[in-house]
Chains A and B, each alone.
Chain A
Amino acid sequence: EAGVAQSPRYKIIEKRQSVAFWCNPISGHATLYWYQQILGQGPKLLIQFQNNGVVDDSQLPKDRFSAERLKGVDSTLKIQPAKLEDSAVYLCASSPTWSPEAFFGQGTRLTVV
């Protein structure tokens, strides 16, 4: 079974630029999550999708972050404009509905300079 795919693996941008991350979840997983992991901390949930609808985006900084899940499968997370404090690993995860486990991708390491 193929895992959660994310791209790119690494990205370096200057502050105030924009950036986008892509995620392809495990086939058949209805629920998709984006997490932000800052160095030395645990992952923090940004947004949760159920199929193509947003279930929870309460932790998403909506003035600069946006996310969508096209046709209930792939998802993109965008930051515009980026700030230095956005430097982190952005993890995409998916799970079947009602599953107690989330399956994570390898993440995208973003460095804002």
Chain B
Amino acid sequence: DQQVKQNSPSLSVQEGRISILNCDYTNSMFDYFLWYKKYPAEGPTFLISISSIKDKNEDGRFTVFLNKSAKHLSLHIVPSQPGDSAVYFCAAPINAGGTSYGKLTFGQGTILTVHP
């Protein structure tokens, strides 16, 4: 049962433009969401997160938006850079509201390619 879904396997954008990566979830108990970035032959690295008490969280070029009523979140990268080319995963703690937040359920990932 895929509780976190990323329906776009890939996204290609031009350098300097906006990248928007989308994620949907089914479990209304999820109260925290994370985005991870993964380069080839490396492990995922944490990028940005958002609590369900917020609808937006911003960190430099990265902004995550949360729409609880639609059970949807998105990651915006502005401006996109070639170094942003990677696989992006959205994730949510399996124990919603409980302990061990690092116990995560992941989406399938979206491959972002930023062209110079």
Contacts and interface: CB of A to CB of B under 8 A. Distances in A.
Same complex: yes
Interface of A: 4, 31, 33, 40-45, 48, 50, 55-56, 91, 93-95, 97-107, 109
Interface of B: 4, 6, 9, 32, 34, 36, 41-46, 49, 89, 91, 93-94, 99-109
A95 B101 contact: yes
Contacts of B6: 42
A45 B3 CA distance: 13
Given A41-B108, A42-B109, A45-B94, A107 B43 contact: yes
Given A42-B108, A50-B100, A102-B104, 4 more contacts: A42-B89, A95-B100, A102-B46, A104-B45
A4 B94 CA distance: 22
- Chain B CB within 10 A, most for which of A44, A95, A99, A100: A100
B104 to A, nearest CB: 6
Contacts of A107: 42-43
B93 A100 contact: yes
B43 A91 contact: yes
A34 B2 CA distance: 19
A45 B103 contact: yes
A95 B108 CA distance: 22
A101 B107 contact: no
A41 B34 CA distance: 17
30 contacts: A4-B43, A33-B102, A33-B103, A40-B109, A41-B108, A42-B106, A42-B109, A43-B89, A43-B104, A45-B94, A45-B103, A48-B100, A56-B103, A94-B102, A95-B100, A97-B99, A97-B100, A98-B100, A99-B101, A99-B102, A100-B32, A100-B101, A101-B34, A101-B46, A101-B101, A101-B102, A104-B45, A106-B41, A107-B42, A107-B43
Contacts of A56: 103
A44 B44 contact: no
